[in-house]
Chains A and B, each alone.
Chain A
Amino acid sequence: MVDPQSASHERAAPESSRPRPVYLVDGARTPFLKARGEPGPFSPVDLAVQCGRPLVMRHPVPPEAYDQVILGCVNVVPSEMNPARIAALRMGMGDAMPAFTVQINCGSGMQSVDTAFRYIRDGRGELILAGGTEALSRAPMMLPDAAVQWLSGLNKASSVQDYAQQISRLNPKDFKPEISLAQGLTDPIVGMSMGQTAELLAHQFSISRRRADEYAASSHQRLARAAEQGWLSDEIVPAVSPDGRLFSKDDGVRPDTSPESLAKLKPAFEPPYGQVTPGNSSQVTDGASWLILASEEAVERYGLEPQAVIVDSEWSALNPSIMGLGPVLSSTALLSRHQIDLHDVDLWEINEAFAAQVLACVAAWDDAAFCRIALGREQPVGQLDMRKLNIDGGAVALGHPVGASGNRIVLHLMKALSREGLRKGVATECIGGGQSGAMLIETI
C-alpha cells in the first residue's frame, strides 16, 4: 500500500506548486420529495444516510478510509446537531471519521464540495465525501419569545401563589407557533422574502409573467422527459422509510404543466399585482445528495474510475434584495479566470430558485449596462444558448431542498455531461442573503 505521506514527499518541487487534480468519482441522491404539509418520512440525516450508504458501498474504498465527511444542511433539527458527523457514524464510517456541517444557506451543498475540493487540491486530504441534505418538511415550529418567557416564569414559580399568578398571565396569542421556514425565507437585512427578491428582478429585467410561466412549464417537461428516458436512474437511489414505504421517484414533477395552467395561479408573495406564483417558484422539498471527491493517488490506490475533474470554483456576493443575480457574478468570474466565454461551456446548471430569477440572470449577461457596471466589461458577456441551460429541468419541477440543491446540480451536471459526451460544465446557484457559488467541472 502506498503511504500518502512519503508519496507527497517524492513529488518534485516544481510539480508541487501546481495544484493537484481533484476528481469527482461518483455521486448519488435521494428522490426529491415534495413537502406535503406534514413532517416527511425522513429527517435530514435519514436522507443523507439513505443515499450515502449505497454510494459508499458501491466503491472499492473501505468506509473508514475516507479522510472526512462534509455535509451542507441549513435547517438542522434539534436531535441532529452536526448532521455530518451523525450521518458518517450511521453510515458505518467509523468512530475515527472527522465530519463537519457547513451552512451558507442555498449554497451549502456546493460549499461542502468546494471545501473538500480545496482540501484535496492543497494536499490535506485524499478522499472526502461531500454532500448536502435538507428536510424542509421537518423545519421546526418555534414558540414566540413571549411564550418561552411565560413558560420560564412558570418554571421559576416557587409557591402556589406565584404559580397561580403566572397562570393568570397566560395569553394564548403568544402561543401561536412560528414556522421557522417562513422566517428563514425572509431576509432580515432588507426585510424581503425570497419571492419578493424575484419580483424585484422580474421588474428590473422586464421578465414577464408569461415568460416565467413558460420557463417553469418547460422545467417540468424537461425533468419528466429525463425521468422517462431513465437519465436520472444512475443518480437517484430509492429511499425506504422504516415503515416500508418505497420512494423511488422525484414526486414534485407534473408533466402536464403548461404555461396556460400556470397562468391561473395567484401571486404568492406580492398579491394582487405580483407575478411570482407557487407554479413558477421552486418547490418546498426534502432531499439529499452526495459526491465522492478523490485525489489522483486515491484514484490509483483504489482503482477508482472518476467521471469528472473539478477545475475551479468561485463565490460572490451582492445586495440581498437582488440575491437572484448572484450566479452572473460568480460564474462570470470563473469564465474570466479561465479565459472562456459563455458558449465555451457545454452545459449550464443554474439552480432554479425562481423562473423569473433564472431568466433575469440570462438577461443580465446580455445587458450592456449591467455588464459594464456589475462585471466591469466593456461588452455584454453575451447570449446564453438556452438549449444548454438546465437541460433536464430544475428546482421549479424538482424542488429545492436548500442544503442539498448545490450538491445536486454538480452531481447532475457531471452525469449530464457524460451522457451527452460533452466536456465543460458550470453549476451555479443564487444564495439567500445575497451570495452565489459557481463550480467549473470537466468530464474525463
Chain B
Amino acid sequence: MTEDILEHLNSRARYLGPDDEQALSVTRLNHWRLSRDEHDIAWLVFDQQGTSANVLSSEVLGELEELVRNIREQAPRAVVLRSAKKTSFCMGADISEFRDVTTESEVLSKLAEAHDIVDSFEALSCPRIAVIHGQCLGGGLELALSCSYRLAIPGARFGFPEIQLGLHPGLGGTVRLPRLINPVEAMKLMLTGKPVVHQKAKKLGLVDDVVEERHVLAAIEAAIAGDLNKHHHGLKDQVMMSGPARQLEARQMRAESAKKAPPEHYPAPGALIDLWENHGGDTSTMAEAEMESFARLLQTETAQNLMRVFFLREKLKGLSDADAQDICHVHVVGAGEMGGDIAGWSALKGHTVTLFDQDPDKISGAIKKLSELCERKHYSSAETREALDRLVPDFANDGAYKSDLIIEAVPEDVDIKRKVYEEVESRMKPGAILATNTSSIPLNELARSVKVPERLVGLHFFNPVAVMPLVEVVTHEKLAEENYARARGFTGQIERLPVPVSDAPGFLVNRALTPYLMEAILMLDEGVPAESIDRVAEDFGMPMGPVELADQVGLDICVGVADMLRERLDSTLPESPDWLTELVDRGDLGKKTGRGLYTWKKGEPRKSQKADDAPENTLDRLILPMLNACVACLNQNVVESENVADAAMIFGTGFAPFRGGPFRYIHHRGAEKIHSQLRDLEDHYGKRFEPDKGWQKLIRA
C-alpha cells in the first residue's frame, strides 16, 4: 500500500528559518540553530540534541546566553523563537538536574544564572516572537513569557505542572504570568497545574493569536508592524494587583487549595500564594523571592518524593515501550462495568473496538457510558461521533475473527470463562492475543482451559477505567515473551501505565489493599465510627479512607477478593463479619447501589462531621498490613522492584504520592522499626500482623 498521503504532506517541516545557503548568517550549536533571513528576522530554533522533546538544562541555557549575545551585537528586526521538535515546543526544565543538588545556596546560584539569561533575552531591543506548537510547559512557558509576542499553532497546550512536583515556577513565571494575564487566572493556572489549550490560552491573553502553520510568516510580520491585537490588562486586572485585593484573593485561594492538597503535606501551593500576596506588586523583589521560595521547596521531602513519582511514571511508561506490533482492533467480551469501560476507553484512545455480550442491553449501556465520558471530557460533537463510531456493538461475537487482541471481562467463574475461550479461540486469527481481566483466578489455571496458552495474558484494569491509570499485566508459566511485550505495548497505546506482575493471588494491588480494607472492617466491628477511620487514612494522605474505598469498589467485590486471598494464600486475613455478608446478600453493595457502609447521595457518601477521633494505633493497624503485603510481594517476586511497587501503589491505589510510595515510606520510617511494630500488633491482635520474611532483607539492606 502507498504511504498515507496526508501524513506525508503534514510531515513537511514547519518553517524554521532559511536554509544554510539562503541565510545571511547561521550559527549552529549543540541545541540551537540561529539563522538570519533576507527580511532581517533572526530565527532562534530550539532543537535539543539526542532527544525527541526539548527540556531546559543548564547546558541549553548556557548556549542560549551565547546566542543572545550574538543577537545583541547586531539587532535584527525581530527574533522568532521556535522548536524543531515534532510534537512540542518545550516540556519544561530538566528536573533531574535538581534532584542531586544538595544545598539551598547551590540551587539559588543555579537559579540566578538562569534568571539572568532569560532576563537578557527579554532585554533585547527588538521584538521577540515565540511561535508555539504542541506542549509548552513549565520552564518552556517561562521562556515564552519573556517574549514580546506569543503565537500559538492550533493544538498547542500551555501549563505550569510544577505544583504536581511539589514546586512552583522558578524561572520568573510567577512574576511574569500575573503581569500578563488576569492575576487570579494566572494563579489558578499555576496552582492547579492543569494545562490549557490554544483557544483558552488566547482567551486568557496568554497568547496573542492562534494561527495555522501556513499563516505564521504573515502573523510574524503583523506582530513586527504592531498590527497584532495585543492583550491588555483591564481595570479589573489592575485592581487585582493591588495589595488589599491580593490579600482578599489569597485567603480564598488558600482555602480552596487546602481542600485539594492539605498544606501540611503539600507546602508548594501555600508558598506560591504567599509569594504573590507579599510581592505581587513589585517585580524585582518578587523575582528574588521566587528563587528563594523555589530553593526552599526543592529541599522538602514532599518535592523530592513527588519528583520521584514523576520519574516512576516515566519508568512505567518505559515498560510499555515494547518493540512489538501495534494493536489496531480490540475485541472485548463481556460488557459489564469493567468490560464496557475498557472497550469505551480503548475506542476513545483511537482503537477500533468490538464489544460483545450475550445481553444486548449491556452493550448499549456501555455505549451510553462512552457518550457520557466524551461529554465529561468536553469532546466536540465530531470527536464524540468518531469515538462512538470506533466502538462497534457486536451482537454475534464476530469481532473475534479480526481483532488483534481479545479482552475477556466476564464474571469470575472458570466455567464461564472456559466457554468464552472456546468460542473465541475457534475464531481468533493467527498472532492475536487473548487477555483476561480476571482479578482472582490464577492465570496458570486459566491457561489450562485454552488451546494456545502462549497467547493468554492478564490485563487487570482498575475501576473506573477512565480514571485509574494503572493496568497490571500478568504473566504465567507458558506465556510467550513477545505476546507479553505486545500486551504491555497495548497499555501504552491506550495511555495506561503497565505494571508487570506474576501470577500470584491478588497480584500486587488487590493483595496489598485487601488487608487494609479488612482491618478497617474489623475496626467498624469494634465500634469505631467509619468517619473516624477514614479521617486517619486521609490525614496520612490517602485520597479517600478505607471505608469509603470499600464502598466505592463494591462490598461484594471486596468480600470476594478477601475470600479468594484467604483461600489461595492460606492467609491470616480476618473473616468477614456476619453483618458484612448480610449487607452483600441484601444487595447493599456501596456506591453503586446507593447504600453500603455509608449511605450515598449523588455519588458522595454522607459523612457525619462529629465523629470522635479514632484510637491512636489506627494508622498503624491500617497501613502496616498494607506495607507487609507489599514486602511479601517483593519477596516473592510478584513485582520486580521497590520502585515498580511504589509506582503501582501510587497509580493503582492513590497511595499518598508525597510519601513516594510504600517502600519509600518504609525506608523513611525505618524497616526495623516497622518490623517490631508489626510484632507488637501481632502480640496484641493476632497472626494477621505477622511480619513477612521479606522484612529481614530490607532490614539488612
Contact = CB atoms under 8 A, between A and B. Distances in A.
B364 A246 contact: yes
A248 B359 CA distance: 12
Given A58-B398, A58-B401, A240-B393, A95 B364 contact: no
Interface in A90-132: 90-92, 95
A90 B360 contact: no
B360 A238 contact: yes
B394 interface: yes
Contact residues on A (Cβ < 8 Å of other chain), bracket: 20 to 34
A392 to B, nearest CB: 21
Contact of B395 (A238, A243, A245): A238
A57 interface: yes
A421 interface: no
A95 B5 contact: yes
Interface string B368-395: 1101000000000000111011101111
A240 B399 contact: no
Interface string B96-126: 0000000000000000000000000000000
A54 B398 contact: yes
Contacts of B532: none
A243 B352 CA distance: 20
B367 interface: yes
A246 B5 CA distance: 38
Contacts, number: 60
Nearest to B393: A240
Contact of B6 (A57, A95, A246): A95
Q: How large is the interface on B (under 10, 10 to 19, 20 to 34, 35 or more residues)?
A: 20 to 34
Contact of B364 (A49, A58, A240): A240
Nearest to A242: B371
A237 interface: yes
Nearest to B389: A90
Given A57-B402, A58-B401, A95-B5, A244 B393 contact: no
A248 B401 CA distance: 23
B367 A244 contact: yes
Contacts of A237: 395
A248 B360 contact: yes
A244 B361 CA distance: 8
B363 interface: yes
Nearest to B375: A242
A266 interface: no
Interface centre among B6, B384, B389 (most CB of A within 10 A): B389
A391 B388 CA distance: 37
Contacts of A243: 368, 371
B398 to A, nearest CB: 4
B396 interface: yes
A57 B398 contact: yes
A248 to B, nearest CB: 6
A53 interface: yes
A203 to B, nearest CB: 46
Contacts of B371: 242-244
A245 B371 CA distance: 12
B365 A244 contact: yes
Contacts of A246: 360-361, 363-364
B354 interface: yes
The binding surface of chain B is classed by DSSP as helix
A169 to B, nearest CB: 36
Interface string B5-33: 11000000000000000000000000000
B256 interface: no
Nearest to B328: A92
Contact of A240 (B4, B354, B363, B390): B363
Contacts of B399: 57
Given A242-B371, A246-B364, A248-B360, A54 B394 contact: yes
Nearest to B355: A240
Interface in A211-248: 237-238, 240, 242-246, 248
Contacts of B4: 95
A58 to B, nearest CB: 4
Interface string A337-358: 0000000000000000000000
A60 interface: yes
Nearest to A236: B395
Interface in A291-332: none
A64 B352 CA distance: 14
A237 B394 CA distance: 9
A244 B392 contact: no
Nearest to A237: B395
Contact of A58 (B5, B361, B388, B396): B396
Contact of A49 (B1, B5, B365, B389): B389
Given A95-B6, A244-B368, A248-B360, A60 B388 contact: no
A334 B395 CA distance: 38
A244 B360 CA distance: 11
A244 B364 contact: yes
Contacts of B354: 57
Contacts of A244: 364-365, 367-369, 371
A238 B402 CA distance: 20
B368 A53 contact: no
Contacts of B5: 95
A245 B392 contact: no
Contact of A57 (B1, B364, B394): B394
B358 to A, nearest CB: 13
Contacts of B401: 57-58, 60
Nearest to A50: B393
A49 B392 CA distance: 10
A237 B399 CA distance: 14
Q: What are the 8 closest A-B residue pairs judged by CB atoms, nearest first?
A: A244-B368, A246-B364, A58-B398, A240-B364, A242-B371, A244-B364, A53-B392, A90-B389
Given A54-B392, A240-B393, A242-B384, 18 more contacts: A49-B389, A54-B395, A54-B396, A57-B394, A57-B398, A57-B402, A58-B398, A92-B389, A92-B390, A95-B4, A240-B363, A242-B371, A242-B388, A244-B364, A244-B368, A244-B371, A246-B361, A248-B360
6 contacts: A49-B389, A237-B395, A240-B367, A240-B393, A242-B367, A242-B371
